[in-house]
Homo-oligomer: A and B are copies of this chain.
């Protein structure tokens, strides 16, 4: 049997470093041409496999593949597309196997979050029973940092760094203007289900009075009275109040703060962010001048200020996925293991996919300060190494020179998929 090809796909929301994992996969596969064939990347993630739209990465120059290491977004396209369960749509899984077989694909490397690891797990199980075994390896990725077992998820460290730097910088701005102008600044960050990203903003505060003064986490039900009291206290004590609010903050009744029942002049529902809601509350109850920012995609695409640790880990996980695949390891997700000891160290580990699939890791209670508005030293100890180091992309005319691949598709061999 000829050397088998690798199928690699990016899944779910992209990050500043998911392409660094792709870079690790492709560069490592190229180093092992005696053992593996080509790397085919799914165009728009798993859809690329279903639609037999396979990008032939061997057509890309060495330089451009190296450039993936510092290019944000998903170079081959990603997708928000969750495969149904095997029971609901066995045909989809059979289609995957059919495509893999048609293109001599022996390795399925899936780069994504919890749903993606679940898919990888199902593919690994099904392929065996269908007589076309494929080596399935998951590569973790999610800015939300919510995958279990792995010490952290590539993508998170860079968002964390961006958020901490941004609130530090904006805090200095507000502090210098507060006497006659804006007294409260609110920055909204991602994290619909967990507060990892918002918590990272806390790293910016090293001394009393430093921004942020308040972090609003999804894990802590929003208490209006306590919150307003704290805002007022900070303005009176420090002259200003800088707030990081997670998009996932909820009222005690479970409703999102962001879902504020806003309507525009035409009576349409306005899907506002959490930041403007908090701002409005402060204005109406405390009458402080405010400003707010919503970082949205800026935070997860901010490759210009990515964490070096994050980039290195993302690359190393992609590399390890290929090495483990060649070794015949199957149905695992590669992980980051934190070494014990006073100095931060890490190595690559692994865990069975079945242990990862559909399990979400929450921000531990011991990482949240007593008053619910800050982070503990234990949290800082966990987070700090993840944002360490800078890894600047190359610049030309003042702008980062991100690469754009040719993305040439492999010739199709099958009939088009008929979707139901």
Which residues of A approach B to under 8 Å, CB–CB?
A: 10, 13-14, 16, 44, 47, 71-81, 161, 164-166, 168-170, 172-177, 179-182, 185, 187, 203-204, 260-266, 268, 270-273, 275-277, 279-280, 283-284, 291-298, 300-305, 307, 309, 384, 386-390, 392, 395, 397-400, 402
Contact = CB atoms under 8 A, between A and B. Distances in A.
A276 B270 contact: yes
A49 B268 CA distance: 50
A203 B398 contact: yes
Contacts of A264: 260-262, 277, 280
A78 B175 CA distance: 9
Contacts of A276: 270-273, 276
B260 A265 contact: yes
A264 to B, nearest CB: 5
Copies in the complex: 2
B305 A297 contact: no
Contact of A296 (B204, B262, B292): B292
Nearest to A203: B399
23 contacts: A13-B177, A71-B172, A72-B173, A73-B169, A77-B175, A80-B177, A80-B180, A80-B181, A169-B400, A173-B300, A260-B264, A262-B265, A262-B270, A271-B276, A276-B276, A291-B297, A293-B296, A294-B294, A305-B305, A384-B397, A386-B398, A387-B398, A389-B398
Contacts of A280: 264, 268, 270-271
A43 to B, nearest CB: 9
Given A47-B179, A74-B176, A392-B390, A293 B297 contact: yes
Contacts of A387: 397-399
B77 A168 contact: no
A203 B395 CA distance: 13
B390 A395 contact: yes
Contacts of A168: 399-400, 402
Contacts of A79: 177, 179-181
Contacts of A177: 13-14, 74, 77-80
A264 B279 CA distance: 12
A306 to B, nearest CB: 10
Contacts of A44: 179-180
A272 B268 CA distance: 14
Nearest to A178: B77
Contacts of A175: 73, 77
A169 B159 CA distance: 13
A300 B399 CA distance: 17
- Sort A-B residue pairs by CB-CB distance and give the 4 closest, nearest first: A73-B172, A74-B176, A261-B265, A387-B398
A355 B138 CA distance: 65
Contacts of A47: 179-180
A75 B172 CA distance: 8
Given A73-B175, A291-B296, A170 B262 contact: no
A73 B170 CA distance: 8
Contacts of A294: 275, 292-294
A403 to B, nearest CB: 10
Contacts of A297: 169-170, 173-174, 182, 185, 291, 293
A297 B177 CA distance: 12
Given A165-B400, A384-B398, A304 B305 contact: yes
Nearest to A73: B172
